[in-house]
Structure 1
Amino acid sequence: MDVNAVATAATTTGGYLLVLAILLPVAAILAAFALGGRYAERTALVFMPIGLVIAVAIAIHICRAGEPLVYVLGGYAPPLGITLRADGFSAVMLVTTALIISSAGFYARVNFATADGVTETRAPFTFWILLLAIWASLNIIFVGGDLFNLYVALELLTFAAVPLVCLDGRAETVVAALRYLMFALCGSVFYLLGAALLYGAYGTLDIALLAQRVHSEPAVWTAAGLMTAGLLAKTALFPLHLWLPPAHANAPAACSAVLSSLVVKGSFFLIVRIWFSVLPNLPHEPANLLLATLGSAAIVFGSVLALMQTRLKLLIAYSTVAQIGYLFLMFPLAGGVHPWAADAWSGGIMQTLSHAFAKASMFLAAGLIAESLGHDRIVDLRGIGAAMPVTLLAFGLGGLSLMGLPPSGGFVAKWLLIKSSVEAGQWVWAVVMLAGGLLAGGYIYRVLAPALSSDVVRLNASPQQSREAVVLMLAVLAILLGFAPPSFFGFLQIGRAGIEGGPL
């Protein structure tokens, strides 16, 4: 059978949807440039719901087939060609990304609308183009099957995300953006060096082919170490988190929501791909232990630093540092064919999803509070609960998920990880997670206590009900994840290493 025949056989039914998931935001960018100015917003808001429909369709196809969705570009199988692949993890990330991008866009209409009588202004046009670029880059990351193409997507993501930090042009935001850029570029260099080593050793960067060919040797471990270190810098895992708090806290609220809930998850997703899809059959207990240890340190130090903040957005930003740490506790638990591995895998993905919705809601809520009060000083939030009950409710629901209290998605995520750690005899991770939940309760209480006081506060302007509805919807989604049926967790296992059909 020739190469083209093999490629055709490898493409699954519905695989073309993976191409559409990438082309749609790219087409939106081109249309926004062609139409120009004030039409960029309208173009983005028209294309975003269509992207959500495509993401849901991908998830439905994977669910019905019970196996990953595959599309071979151009009909040439790897290593000559490029393959797009999506498993259960990819599908839920595509849907989550479409939901949050659409929500952030709808929320940002007030802040980034082109004024009447003006053809085009810099900040609005830039915002909508960059938001679409982030969406396209993330979709490539979630369905990409080649490590070099994933590097290109990472770079596109970086150069779309960094300018969002400094859209207002203030000196402090420019400094924060440059610090973010330096960490991201250093991470890119490490990732590219690792990819070059793998290509030199095995002649391909296709994930599926590498999983079959790699074996334990210095080149592989060096490459894995370099790529992981670079991705950790982009993910902002402690102690490589120094760029994140000033960048996320000083960006406009809609940008902060996207950066915190989605952008850092792109690089985390690739770390999972490297260790669970490229190297599933190699022993890597020391690496797993190191990642989980750094994750534990992030939970403790990030939470303590969040407790010390005086600004609401900085508190939420340091909370992101802490919550990212939970993601890395899945590494020593989800590998292999152990009975607890499936729960750990589901727990890690649930933490990714619940944090995305909760943190997007909390940053958008903080943006509404700052606009209504003219500041986000925690000590001066007294009485805001009575003045902005829907906004504070959304913030509280997001905090409930971060603390890991039932019936939230955060509770299910942390419960699965704690259960796995106990079954595996690795109690230390369970202790860290319980301590992290208590610390999260502390910094959420620091906000809710003054906000729920009986003081009367005067607002500079009341928030729009439509924007409050967006914030509340995201928080409710973080809670509704806690009611996910057993079939949902079975869906998350599709494509996982160690089971039939995995790894990718």
Structure 2
Amino acid sequence: MPATLADLGMPLVPWAAVSVVLPLTAALVAALLGRHAHHLAVPMALAGIAVAALAILDVVRHGVIETAIGGWTPPLGIALRLDGLGSAFLAVIALVGAGVTLFARAGFGPDAEGRETRRGYAFWPLVFCTTGGLAAIAVAGDLFNLYVGLELLTVTAVALVALDGKPAALAAAMRYLLFALLGSLLYLLGAAILYVAHGTLDIRLLSRSADPETATLAAVVLMTAGLMAKAALFPLHGWLPPAHGSAPAPASALLSALVVKAPFIIMLRLWFEVAPEIATSVVAQGLGALGAAGILVGSLLALRQHRLKLVIAYSTVAQLGYLMLVFPLAGGSGEQQPWSAGAWTGVVFHALSHALAKGAMFLAAGAMAEAIGDDRMDRLDGVGQHLPIAAFAFGLAAVSLMGLPPSGGFTGKYLLLTSAFASGQWWWAVVMIGGGLLAAGYLFRPLSRLLAKREQPGALLAVTRWRQAIALGLAMLSVLLGLLSLGPYELLQIGRPGSAVEGLSS
């Protein structure tokens, strides 16, 4: 049984609730501060990391922690649930969020004369609301509050895409909004079916009552389709490249690193906690096939792009395809197999390392675009000499995306490969190896230009080493996740579906 705050020895501070309330409060304060809102970047970065660290510490000490809001327990009340997956996601939210806000201070503060700008006034409340919505998804214990978090993400993320106000940005935001609204309708319809069938939306209670009957199957299929639209999983990925290509670099980093991961976290909860029996062999292989197609299509489209941000955006489509491989490798039999834990943990490792690497990559690309005036690939020649830290950050992030040792991307893909061979599903190993080779192809294109000699005339604008170092910090974290993988691996076992592990201290 999960521990509750009423238990003896439980933490006195409900960090799950604090992780949600803190950024939402900061959003309100940022709206009131106006042109001074950028001063919140440093204290909020430090506070977010501290809260995530304390939440992880409590989970390690006490196991899964449930906080009943207002003292009312489910099904009458609402519970926040903090486990290994949720606390790890909180940590990545805090780290990427800190990098984004610190990088954005220079671009979203007052203008040279100290006047408030429209972009700056809107950016800070939107960013803090986005991190609040992400935290809500990390700790929500029921499917309806997960929906609330998703809707908060939709509103703020669409606004971030449209922040520049240019026609291309507005068109991309509108396309994103249409996909997101479709996803919301499908998810809400599925949740309504589950509630009618079982009388609750609490994940823990549903895991005891949900069975593979027609109503449950229909609900899970509808919710999965909606979540795939919000996560830009193939074939519902059409909104992602234009949105990431049009948004400001800090917003693109937030979208690609975190916003598209949140719906997948819900998919993991849905398929492996609420209704694991639904994932029959045929269903699991079908979902895996969509992931394989996403890896192939995203990689081939990334190879054809002539803008750096679009290369990174299409690489996100490809890398998200790996997440779908968890269904045939960790599910598909209706029961836990010896390799299921490795596949589930591997896909979470991949999601976390991709978040850190992609955040670093978009921030590095933003620094390069500031220096040369745009993000065209044919203008990147020699930029690595002018921005060596940003170029190194981009290269280090590429190492993780390609799955090379000793990065976190390697750890995640190694666990998935091991599960593929252990389960006899060698074809998924072929997909992953091929995806890694394609990733090397589309990432070596910008890297080769960054390291080439600059022959084009014209001076490059200066970008401070501090801002470049922020991107490098996130890239280094994506590598450290692989070097120091034992701690995160053990953390993810706390509350893992099918796991009896309740904490590391016992």
TM category (shorter chain) comes to: over 0.9
What do the CA deviations read for 1:309-353 (whole angstroms, capped 9, x no partner)? 011100000000000001111122224421111211221111011
CA distance in 1, matches of 2:153, 2:315: 22
1:450 aligns with 2:449: yes
Q: Where does residue 93 of structure 1 map in the other structure?
A: 89
CA distance in 2, matches of 1:305, 1:11: 53
Q: Where does residue 312 of structure 2 map in the other structure?
A: 316
Amino acid at match of 1:45: V
Alpha-carbon shift at residue 231 of structure 1 (Å): 0.3
Residues 265-280 of structure 1 correspond to what in structure 2 (within 5 A)?
265-280=261-276
CA distance in 2, matches of 1:341, 1:417: 10
Residues 174-213 of structure 1 correspond to what in structure 2 (within 5 A)?
174-213=170-209
Moved more, 24-33 or 265-274: 24-33
Moved more, 409-418 or 337-346: 337-346
Q: Where does residue 122 of structure 2 map in the other structure?
A: 126
Count of residue correspondences: 496
1:52 aligns with 2:52: no
Amino acid at match of 1:87: D
What do the CA deviations read for 1:136-161 (whole angstroms, capped 9, x no partner)? 00000000011111111110110010
CA distance in 2, matches of 1:120, 1:452: 38
Amino acid at match of 1:54: V
CA distance in 1, matches of 2:282, 2:69: 37
CA distance in 2, matches of 1:10, 1:284: 41
Q: Where does residue 42 of structure 1 map in the other structure?
A: 39
CA distance in 2, matches of 1:10, 1:226: 41
Q: Where does residue 3 of structure 1 map in the other structure?
A: none
Q: Where does residue 357 of structure 1 map in the other structure?
A: 356
Q: Is the 8 A contact 1:191 1:230 kept in 2?
A: yes
Q: Where does residue 31 of structure 1 map in the other structure?
A: 29
What do the CA deviations read for 1:345-393 (whole angstroms, capped 9, x no partner)? 2211110111001111111111111110112111221112222211111
Q: Is the 8 A contact 1:8 1:72 kept in 2?
A: no
Alpha-carbon shift at residue 48 of structure 1 (Å): 2.8
CA distance in 2, matches of 1:459, 1:475: 27
Q: Where does residue 414 of structure 2 map in the other structure?
A: 415
Gaps of 5+ in 2: none
CA distance in 2, matches of 1:233, 1:434: 26
SS at match of 2:244: helix
Amino acid at match of 1:207: I
SS at match of 2:329: coil
Report the TM-score when normalising by structure 1: 0.95
CA distance in 2, matches of 1:107, 1:487: 28
Amino acid at match of 1:406: P
Q: Where does residue 441 of structure 1 map in the other structure?
A: 440
Alpha-carbon shift at residue 283 of structure 1 (Å): 4.9
Amino acid at match of 1:365: A
CA distance in 2, matches of 1:10, 1:495: 20
CA distance in 2, matches of 1:375, 1:48: 28
SS at match of 2:81: strand
Q: Where does residue 104 of structure 1 map in the other structure?
A: 100
CA distance in 2, matches of 1:138, 1:324: 18
CA distance in 2, matches of 1:89, 1:298: 24
Gaps of 5+ in 1: 1-5
What do the CA deviations read for 1:18-41 (whole angstroms, capped 9, x no partner)? 11111111211222233x312222
Alpha-carbon shift at residue 277 of structure 1 (Å): 1.2
Residues 26-425 of structure 1 correspond to what in structure 2 (within 5 A)?
26-34=24-32, 36-65=33-62, 67-115=63-111, 118=114, 120-335=116-331, 336-425=335-424
CA distance in 2, matches of 1:282, 1:440: 33
CA distance in 1, matches of 2:340, 2:406: 23
SS at match of 1:205: coil
What do the CA deviations read for 1:113-140 (whole angstroms, capped 9, x no partner)? 1136555332101100000000100000
Q: Is the 8 A contact 1:350 1:413 kept in 2?
A: yes
SS at match of 1:151: helix
Moved more, 384-393 or 195-204: 384-393
What do the CA deviations read for 1:421-476 (whole angstroms, capped 9, x no partner)? 01000111100000000000001111112221233454431211110110111111
Alpha-carbon shift at residue 486 of structure 1 (Å): 2.5
Q: Where does residue 20 of structure 2 map in the other structure?
A: 22
Q: Where does residue 466 of structure 2 map in the other structure?
A: 466
Residues 15 and 331 of structure 1, relative CA distance in 2, 3 Å threshold: farther
Q: Is the 8 A contact 2:143 2:202 kept in 1?
A: yes
Q: Is the 8 A contact 2:329 2:419 kept in 1?
A: yes
Q: Is the 8 A contact 1:351 1:414 kept in 2?
A: yes
CA distance in 2, matches of 1:244, 1:282: 29
CA distance in 1, matches of 2:50, 2:6: 26
Residues 116 and 487 of structure 1, relative CA distance in 2, 3 Å threshold: closer
Alpha-carbon shift at residue 289 of structure 1 (Å): 1.6
Report the TM-score when normalising by structure 2: 0.95
